[in-house]
């Protein structure tokens, strides 16, 4: 069993990297890769850089060079709903793009041609995630939407909410990672810690929240240890 873990920036993966034993470091396509073990699980952690293209590149490298059985995207996201607060965790039941529009050709808003509208997380991994988090509060399961912008504008926030009323958080990588995994038939799930409220103060909130990634680290490690 090989688990691939993808984060966009160092802060999102550093605590997990500190748990690796037998660690080896590589650089491919300017992505920094750490290989090792957490418990009995072989883990490959990759820092891709920010945004959909960087995430797609890193995911492709991960799959082609390391052949993971599962890909887990971890990182930060902005809350889209009032009841999900900073430091809360959201696990993807599905992901979708908020910035894709090919409706002129009969596709739904957010849908890439010849792809599903939503990229769904595998039920067996969701069951493990729910088991791993059942004793924890402030963990939510639902839709994550992605696009190539950091959202810190209330008008853009409201526009995303109106188009995707079921979305819980917004990020810049998870759907791109899910799309690549879909193309390679690799199961994929995203775990996000809320860093901000995607409003006009989001950049300030993000800089404060990024200093404490413990909630994301603990849940991710618990899920890894429950995978058999």
Catalytic residues: 12, 196
Cα–Cα distance, 168 to 133 (Å, whole number): 18
* Helix (H), strand (E) counts: the chain: 7, 10
Cα–Cα distance, 56 to 63 (Å, whole number): 11
Residue 126 · residue 91 · CB < 8 Å: yes
Residue 209 · residue 87 · CB < 8 Å: yes
Strands 21-28 and 31-38 come out as antiparallel
């Amino acid at each position: 069993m090989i688990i691939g873990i993808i984060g966009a920036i160092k802060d999102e993966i550093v605590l997990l990297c500190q748990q690796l034993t037998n660690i080896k470091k590589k650089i491919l396509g300017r992505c920094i890769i750490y290989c090792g073990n957490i418990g009995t699980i072989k883990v490959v952690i990759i820092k891709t850089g920010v945004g959909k293209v960087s995430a797609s590149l890193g995911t492709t490298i991960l799959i082609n060079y390391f052949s993971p059985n599962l890909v887990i995207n971890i990182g930060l996201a902005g809350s889209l709903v009032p009841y999900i607060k900073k430091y809360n965790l959201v696990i993807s039941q599905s992901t979708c793009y908020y910035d894709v529009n090919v409706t002129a050709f009969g596709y739904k808003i957010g849908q890439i041609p010849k792809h599903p509208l939503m990229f769904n997380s595998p039920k067996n991994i969701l069951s493990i995630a729910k088991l791993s988090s059942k004793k924890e509060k402030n963990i939510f399961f639902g839709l994550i939407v992605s696009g190539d912008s950091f959202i810190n504008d209330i008008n853009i926030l409201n526009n995303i909410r109106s188009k995707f009323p079921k979305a819980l958080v917004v990020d810049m990588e998870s759907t791109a990672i899910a799309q690549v995994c879909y193309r390679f038939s690799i199961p994929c799930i995203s775990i996000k810690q809320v860093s901000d409220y995607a409003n006009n103060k989001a950049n300030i909130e993000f800089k404060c929240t990024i200093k404490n990634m413990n909630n994301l680290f603990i849940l991710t490690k618990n899920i890894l240890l429950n995978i058999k």
